[in-house]
Chains A and B, each alone.
Chain A
């Protein structure tokens, strides 16, 4: 069976499981929206009314809560479940790609709803023609976060406290994504080009993709 077909099957099942469990949209998303509100209360209503902090708070919450969404698939995996897919002949690269695809889809939906919530809560003044560049930044950031979190999940597979360990791995490595994503809007406000930041996000995604696919087989061997 081809790598691509196995990847799509893993992604499909991951999304079916998520639809039934509902972690992302029934638990994490409402909590993230509450976090948006808590930030506005913690900093005072002046910030909310000026809207300056809105995009920054949005990216911080999107990344932090997004990590939990992207790591949930690895966290659900038991040893017997991993054994099963291993014995079914699942290519570890397909496991990585499939989980990244499903995580990216969930993250895209999550960040979109969270962004709308931020617009309603903070009413930020966005630069003209922001939708296209922001959509691009959202897509590249969610792909990067999905790839990074899935890779961290694979690295920590089989370890005790793997969810906490994976978060520790993701947190520092997510910096290029945070910088790239937040600077796209900043650059638009300054009327400077966004190409540099889009390139940063794209390069980060490509590096993570190559690393994830390339490391998946050695990681599975090392875990034996």
Chain B
């Protein structure tokens, strides 16, 4: 069976400065990978390459069977879930309007917005503007969307940073759910403590843009 994510000597350079260099790994269905590295080591860039948001400037790879360098990569994007540093929401809309907007764009007719808000503990805040929500609430809202979207590849960028214990538990639950559906997860952090709560298949280290196996 083909891996869900595969990078082959992938690199990204900004001018002559390499951000990540010669990165190779693959992730099968049901695997979780943790990546630890200091600030500026290229963790976010690595995730954005896998998320198909950045094209590798050297090497290549595939996500969900599509070549990263092909324009057809856009076909698999709805099956990739990304939780990045800054919550990617529309602050001028309410909590529920955000989820409705996402489902309208994806054509998801399955419903479940109210149920997802209950699961993440935000059913009382459904009419609140996202701009009036705390950082932790915005993260919960992102989790609510990902619970509905059921991505096959889940990418977490310092996802637990700044969250309370119950919100961190939601991230762990999202990881378990993704893996149990046969998906794959990559979680990156500068702090190994924040990778706790998840049983990783492998933990990799990233330093100066190069990967090393930690355990």
Contact = CB atoms under 8 A, between A and B. Distances in A.
Interface of A: 1, 5-6, 9-10, 13, 16-17, 20-21, 78, 80-81, 83-90, 217, 220-221, 224
Interface in B52-82: 52-55, 71, 74, 77-78, 80-82
A86 B53 contact: yes
Contact of A17 (B54, B81, B87, B92): B92
Contact of A6 (B74, B81, B88, B105): B105
A9 B105 contact: yes
A224 B92 contact: no
22 contacts: A1-B105, A1-B106, A9-B101, A9-B104, A16-B93, A17-B92, A17-B93, A20-B92, A21-B92, A78-B86, A80-B86, A80-B88, A81-B88, A83-B51, A83-B82, A83-B88, A84-B88, A84-B89, A86-B53, A88-B102, A88-B106, A221-B71
A1 B89 CA distance: 21
Interface of B: 48, 51-55, 71, 74, 77-78, 80-82, 84-90, 92-93, 97, 101-102, 104-107
B86 A1 contact: no
B136 to A, nearest CB: 17
B68 to A, nearest CB: 9
A13 B80 contact: no
B133 to A, nearest CB: 15
The 3 closest A-B pairs by CB, nearest first: A1-B107, A84-B88, A89-B78
A5 B52 CA distance: 24
A87 B51 contact: yes
A10 to B, nearest CB: 8
Contacts of B53: 83, 86-87, 224
Contacts of B81: 87
